[in-house]
Structure 1
């Protein structure tokens, strides 16, 4: 291996593989949880709006927006965890 080569071998390579796998697993799990939570909140928001009509629309819209925010936030965290696991700058 040439001096200055960025490829890791031995213990460093093994640690990188483990952290990358762990980062990808945790990142994937966070993305799934965020997606499910976001979809559930949007569904509840749409249900509230559908059942109550215009009277409940602000509450329904707020719940839907909250779901979108949770999903976006957890997706950003998931990408950061995956990047960190791969040894990349997270943000």
Structure 2
């Protein structure tokens, strides 16, 4: 009697599901990176502007905003990587 179950995980419904989730994962991951990068850069730019306009008096606020921007960007990169890994069925 033939065995209809195969150990190849890229056939049939599983293969189709992997294709769809991989495509979605890469799309959402790319968008997350883009949004995080733009938001991070904009926030750092605002921080630099505040520091430049106010000098040493505004430096703590400007540096704080710059650090927030870097944190947002780093967090978005981590989320993007997690989404892409999930889409590729990686642990």
- TM normalised by structure 1 equals 0.91
Partner residue in 2 for 1:22: 24
Partner of 1:53: 55
Alpha-carbon displacement from aligned partner over 1:48-85 (angstroms, at most 9, x marks no partner): 00000000000000000000000000100000000000
Gaps of 5+ in 1: none
Q: Which runs of 4+ in 1 moved over 2 A?
A: none
2:81 to 71, 76, 79: 79
CA distance in 2, matches of 1:68, 1:47: 16
The match for 2:3 is none
For the residues of structure 2 that align with 1:18 and 1:50, how far apart are their CA atoms? 47
Larger radius of gyration: 2
User: In structure 2, which of residues 38, 61, 85 is the aligned counterpart of residue 36 of structure 1?
Assistant: 38
The count of corresponding residues between Structure 1 and Structure 2 is 86
Counterparts of 2:22 and 2:10 in 1: how far apart (Å)? 13
Structure-2 separation of matches of 1:36 and 1:79: 17
| Distance apart, 1:42 and its partner CA | 0.3
Structure 2 gap ranges (5+):
1-5
Cα distance in structure 1, aligned partners of 2:86 and 2:14: 15
Q: TM-score, normalised by structure 2?
A: 0.91
Q: CA deviation at 1:4?
A: 3.4
